[in-house]
Amino acid sequence: MADPVGDGDPSVSGIVRRLWSSQAGINWRAAALLGLFSSTFSTLVSQFTATRIGRDAVVDWMVVAAIPMRDAALQVEPSWPVILTGILFHQWADFSWALVFFGLFARWTAGLRPWTILLIAPVWALFTSASEWLFLVPLLPFWQPIFPLEQPYWIGFLVHLTSASLYPLFPYLRDTVAGRRPSAHGRFAAVWSGGAILGVFALGTLALLGWQGREIPWTGHDPAYDQDYMRRMMAHHAQGIALAKLGAERAQDSHLRSLARLIAAAQTGENTVFDQWWRSWFGDASQICALAERDSMPGMLDPGQIEALRGLDGPAFDARFVALMTFHHAGAIAMADDAMRQADDLRLRIMAQGIRHEQRGEIALMHGLEGLAAVQMALGDLVLPAGRAAPEQAAGQRPSP
């Protein structure tokens, strides 16, 4: 009689059956199943949480898509194929880390109990997120500086921590794959997975309410500064978007056109978040800045400077565009830096730090920074305290008319 697991069968199918049913095979299968769950969970949490902390999820997915797709992913209005590519690439990365932890490192991890895994998970999230942000993406194998220069490190850490929070389910999944029923870890798995499902449902409800203009209420004491900052930054971004769209149309250098599209998309997304927060917190009161208020903002350009840019072509246009956008970004960086210290609502301070990091990174990208130099700058931005905002490239006087 043939052995049901293929013992002694020298054929390829017999070898496959033995591997499939071995302890190593069970570990790899359970790790793959966990990877599917954990990556999907982190995707949903990221999508539902983004606006709550001042991020536009669509733009973030586009930035992730730029890792494999390069400049082709950067669009003023990210398309569904690009968004889907970003999501799938993120899920592939999360899936792969689960395989590494419980498949490749199974000798040390497969026998751990759920609570031990839970204690290790934050350390693993720190290691994996740092590996991607500091090495794998900006250096080898992808050599793509946009990701660390556009997204602060803490975003990736939170995403990886969310994914790793489901790792304690592995012992139950291993028992299930092995056919060991009932599992000694069944009760823990039921409670833990139930909590994860409730958490996703709660975050999804908050996202839906926010989309309807019913965000979690403003939490400060005096709204004057926060309202002023939001109005001013929205007006500042509006000029930046117009300038970026001009660069996306007219720049001779194809990479600079792509960066201009990225800038337009990022600032449009941030204005969308500002608008949603304003409607939720302060109603439909006017957000329009008076002309004198616009002129007082750092980095705001004279209309004549933008019109003069329209009259340029080729390398002259590219050089002038970089100079104007650098100056404009420096103003937004100074405003965001100030908000990091003075904004009353914590969400505004978190968003301001993201804006400061992103716009410093975009200045560096326009000046051709990549490789190890990009990593060093991104790391420096991570620890840069409020009040130290001005990038070296932005130092100097207002560009001449």
CB within 8 Å of 306: residues ≥ 6 apart:
242, 243, 246, 324
Residue 391 has what pLDDT? 52
How does pLDDT run across 166-189, given as a tens digit for each residue?
999 999 999 999 999 899 999 999
Please tell me whether residue 200 adopts helix, strand or coil conformation.
helix
Residue where the block lists tokens 């009689």: 1
Mean pLDDT value across residues 118-145: 98
Residue 194 has what pLDDT? 98
Q: Peptide bond before 182: cis, by omega within 30 degrees of 0?
A: yes
- pLDDT category of residue 253 using cuts at 50, 70 and 90: very high
- pLDDT category of residue 329 using cuts at 50, 70 and 90: very high
The larger pLDDT score, comparing residue 229 to residue 15, is at 229
Reported pTM: 0.92
Residue 376 has what pLDDT? 96
Give the Cα-Cα-Cα angle 338, 390, 259 (nearest 5 degrees). Answer: 105
Residue 127: other Cβ atoms inside 10 A: 14
Mean pLDDT value across residues 102-107: 96
Question: What ranges do the domains of the chain cover?
Answer: 17-211, 224-394
CA distance 334 to 340: 10
Residue 385 has what pLDDT? 87
How does pLDDT run across 51-83, given as a tens digit for each residue?
999 999 999 999 999 999 999 999 999 999 999
CA distance 230 to 222: 14
Does residue 4 register a pLDDT over 60? no
Tokens of 241: 């978007």
Helices (H), 283-345: 291-295, 303-310, 314-342
Does residue 336 register a pLDDT over 70? yes
How does pLDDT run across 275-305, given as a tens digit for each residue?
999 999 998 766 678 777 887 899 999 999 9
Does residue 396 register a pLDDT over 50? no
Mean pLDDT value across residues 19-39: 91
Residue 72 has what pLDDT? 98
Helices (H), 179-302: 186-211, 224-250, 254-282, 291-295
Residue 351 has what pLDDT? 98
The larger pLDDT score, comparing residue 19 to residue 385, is at 385
Residue 224 has what pLDDT? 94
- pLDDT category of residue 332 using cuts at 50, 70 and 90: very high
Residue 397 has what pLDDT? 54
How does pLDDT run across 267-283, given as a tens digit for each residue?
999 999 999 999 999 98
Residue 74 has what pLDDT? 98
CA distance 140 to 66: 15
How does pLDDT run across 155-166, given as a tens digit for each residue?
999 999 999 999
| Signed CA dihedral, 144, 90, 133, 319: sign only | positive
CATH fold of 224-394: Ferritin (1.20.1260)
CA distance 328 to 391: 12
Across the chain, mean pLDDT equals 92
How does pLDDT run across 199-246, given as a tens digit for each residue?
999 999 999 999 999 999 999 999 999 999 999 999 999 999 999 999
